[in-house]
Amino acid sequence: MSDIETILAAPRRGRNPAKVLKWCMRPAEESVMHKTRLLVRFGAVTFALLVILGSVVSNAVNHTIRDRTLQYYTQSVENMMVLMVNKLMTAEDFSGKPFTPEKAAILDSLLGDFTFLGAEQLTATLYNPDGVVIWATDPAVVGTKARLTPAQRKALAGTTSSRFTNTPDIKAKGGQVIQYTLAIPFDGKIVGVAQADTPDYVITVQTERDLKKIQLILGGGMFLFWVALFPIAMTVARALRRQAAENEHLAMHDQLTGLPNRNLLKDRLEQAVARSSRTGHQTGLLFVDLDRFKEVNDALGHQQGDILLGQIAARLADAVRDADSVARLGGDEFAVVVPDVTDPAVLVGLAERFTELLRVPFEINNITVNVDASIGVTIFPDHGTDADTLMQRADIAMYAAKEAGLDYTFYSAEHDSNSPVKLALAGELRRALDNDDELVMHFHPLVDVRTNVVTGVEALIRWNHPTRGFVLPDDFIPLAEQSGLIRPLTIKALDLSLAQCRTWSDAGLHLRVAVNLSARNLREADLPGRIADLLARHQVDPQDLELEITESALLSDPACANMLLHQLADIGVHLALDDFGTGYSSLSYLKNLPVNQLKIDRSFVNNMSNDATDAMIVRSVIELAHNLGLDVTAEGVETADQLSHLRNLSCDTIQGYHLTKPLAADLIPGWIAGYHHRNGVRELSQDARESFRSSQ
């Protein structure tokens, strides 16, 4: 069976559209290895943390037990020494003479009876302030004079101390010595110092045994806690992976149909092109545009239109192979990537199948709906060697099919306005977009009619070609529209305009900058995000950016355009409806648009002084806008008479050659300063005054 027969015979399997992308998914083995590495890493990190935590807790418990043991011993010794001193001694006993044998015998007896549980007998020594031993458990040292230790000198100053210490014989038995240094006061005066030592074996061993039990219980508990963390961690990891997958799906898929969006389509096309470069096969790309979708949307409403788009998406997805990718580009445009094409007839068969499927009536809430489609086809490498070129030319071929009334057509150079010069110019424009010197912005001032204050400027892109000189906008803007370069051209204009707005603001010149959007721009779902990023990058207040949209641009896809304009309004930018009155003006959609301003087309302004109808139209538009809470700008003001007439009609803002032609950015400050000076506007900034003086 041939490839064409395979496609035409493909059953309508009702599968998930995402299935067509399975050829690019990560292998299961790699996913398992990745999960295993994550679990091992998690286990090692958490185990190390628990070991550190266990060591900290164990040391804290150890220090607490030692401190409490020392506190207990110290208190007991202090009580014993106070009892001995108060009952048996006087201040004269510390004059330097040894105790009488009777008193010494009583002290020995008392000390012999005072032992701690499991400890050896307490040994003690009493010193007078000169260091003379007046009594000791070792009779041999009585009467000798010793050099006082630092602890003993502190005791004479009133500081009692106790500490753990060791001697070689005690340490060998597994015990430790608790040494006390106590002051002996009489009548508020310290007359001597006592030092006592308690060799401790049993309590030390018991303490260490209890501490080991605590460490064992603590370690076991932490280990069990560590083991219990795994199912929790795995549950959290699964939830995070699921959420990440959902977020990635939302970022790369159309929410209405579930199909891949433009970004994912481009990625799949790049992969298919790369594979075709290796295998020598071809890659096909089809752009599908619905011809009568707007009529359905207007007649049945957006909700029914969304249902129709979902049914169309399902039919397209069922008509392709599993290896093919169906995407929704936005509005009523779809695209299909067909990898590994061995015969262009496969693409012919697929385009014809799409046409047949879409001509089968759709049923929406018991209403029969018919739609047609125009399809543009490109092939790698015949029509382009990269994804961007293939997409641009598929778009051109689709519009060529629509204009010619054909179901589908393959891209041809003849579709590019039948001009080799235009083709060359398109290539040069593509290069100019990457060149910072060729595309520049000129600015046309807007003036408040009531105050004569310059409130803003309209940004107009100019192409300073290295060999052709300045290329007229009428020559390259339509070319950008037709070639698909209008998207990067608009982003370039926004980038340059916002950079200039920031420069003026830093110099003290506050102006709102207006930039034009095309019909193609209003079909780009990521445009609001791109504009928000540019505003943030240049640190420009959204209120200082105005976006101008023509009525005809809105009519290409009203639902999509309306949604996108509301997203732009949410960012905070101003929106203006340009060339008002030249399209299919409708209050039904005007009242729902989040626009701030109407711009009256120059064709009405130019003839308003001589044509009563045009004058009436201008008056009506101004009154309509004001009743809707909108400002009005009159374009194309070329005479003082037109300005006077507009002032009498309460127009808000004017723009035109009567004020000035569009100017380069460096000429704007000087022109504004001069215009304000000539019209008596005194609220000039210092920078504006200096600019005006330098321009004279």
Under a CB-based contact definition with an 8 Å cutoff, are residues 651 and 673 in contact? no
Higher-scoring residue by pLDDT: 50, 442:
442
| Mean pLDDT rounded to a whole number for the chain | 79
Cα distance between residue 571 and residue 531, in whole Å: 9
Higher pLDDT, 38 or 481: 481
Please compute the mean of the pLDDT values over residues 209-225 and round it to a whole number. Answer: 73
- Note the pLDDT tens digit of each residue in 274-303: 999 998 899 999 999 988 777 777 677 778
Stretch 555-564: mean pLDDT, rounded? Answer: 76
What residue type is 364 in one-letter code?
I
The percentage of residues in the chain with a pLDDT greater than 90, rounded to a whole number, is 31
- pTM listed for this prediction: 0.46
* pLDDT of 500: 96
Residue written as token pair 């219980």: 217
Q: What is the mean pLDDT of residues 233-248?
A: 73
Distance CA 319, CA 521 (A): 30
pLDDT on residue 128: 85
| Mean per-residue pLDDT, 17-25 | 36
Q: Is 206 left (phi over 0), alpha (psi -120 to 50) or beta?
A: alpha
pLDDT at 636 over 70: yes
Q: Is 181 helix (H, G, I), strand (E, B) or coil?
A: strand
Q: Where are the beta strands (DSSP E) in 187-240?
A: 189-200
Given this model, what pLDDT does residue 19 score?
A: 38
**Taking the alpha carbons of 372, 257, 532, 568 in that order, is the dihedral positive or negative?**
positive
Give yes or no for a contact between 573 and 560, defined as CB atoms under 8 angstroms apart.
no
pLDDT for position 404: 76
Is 265 within 8 Å of 329 (Cβ atoms)? Answer: yes
Phi, psi of 321 (to 5 degrees): -75, 165
At residue 588, the pLDDT reads 61
Consecutive H or E run containing 158: none
Separation between Cα atoms, residue 381 and residue 388, nearest integer Å = 13
| 42 has a pLDDT exceeding 70 | no
In degrees, rounded to 5, the angle at the alpha carbon of residue 304 between the alpha carbons of residues 301 and 307 is: 150
Does position 27 have pLDDT exceeding 80, yes or no?
A: no
Burial-class residue 669 by CB neighbours within 10 Å (0-12, 13-18, 19+).
buried
Torsion of the alpha carbons at 160, 164, 165 and 168, rounded to the nearest 10:
150
DSSP state of 132: B
Q: How far is CA 577 from the centre of its chain?
A: 31
Q: What is the pLDDT of residue 661?
A: 93
Q: Is the pLDDT of residue 623 over 80?
A: yes
How far from chain centre, in Å, is Cα 593? 29
Q: What pLDDT is attached to residue 214?
A: 73
597-600 and 574-580 strand pairing: parallel
Domains of the chain: residue spans and CATH: 26-251 (3.30.450.20), 253-415 (3.30.70.270), 444-695 (3.20.20.450)
597, pLDDT greater than 50: yes
